[in-house]
Amino acid sequence: MFVRHKADKFLGIHLIHGHFKIPENTVMLGTNFENNSIRWTRITNISGIDPSRVHGHIFALTQDGLCAYELQDGPLPDLSSVGPGFLDEFLSYILNNNLTNLIGLQVLGCGDGSMEELILDEGTVMVNSPACASIHGQAGSKSRSDCR
């Protein structure tokens, strides 16, 4: 489906999960560093965010439609080459297969490689897999593949 609609370079699936509860009036906001090889996602007050400087990064399907539950600094990548039927087909698939509580939609754009996720008290740090080889497996850290 992603390849057929030319969405595979721009969008991916995301396992919906949470590491901790975030306070009301806050969101998770990601910022990239070091040419996108590191991403720090932290709890951020909604009142301090300029909506013109962020975009939805990870979306979950709710009864009201797709809802961004994680934001990312910067402009939304150009999605104009994604086929017009992709979103309807993707949403139908996750609805018909009872996957709405498991699978979300992620906007890519963080490079071609896999990243590892290090879980902190109130945020996460994503680093390119080779960069975290020396710290992978430390107590309290978890990992997951991202971007592909």
Task: Name the pTM for this structure.
Answer: 0.73
Indicate the domain borders of the chain: 3-131
Q: 127 φ, ψ to 5°?
A: -130, 150
User: Of 134 and 101, which is predicted with more confidence?
Assistant: 101
pLDDT for residue 52 is more than 70: yes
Which residues, at least 6 apart from 146, have a Cβ–Cβ distance to it below 8 Å? 110, 114, 115, 117, 126
Which residues, at least 6 apart from 59, have a Cβ–Cβ distance to it below 8 Å? 66, 67, 68, 69, 104, 105, 106
pLDDT for residue 60 is more than 50: yes
User: Of 143 and 120, which is predicted with more confidence?
Assistant: 120
Across the range 130-140, mean pLDDT stands at 44
Q: 147 φ, ψ to 5°?
A: 75, -15
pLDDT for residue 30 is more than 70: yes
Length of the chain: 148
Task: Give residue 49's pLDDT.
Answer: 95
pLDDT for residue 140 is more than 50: no
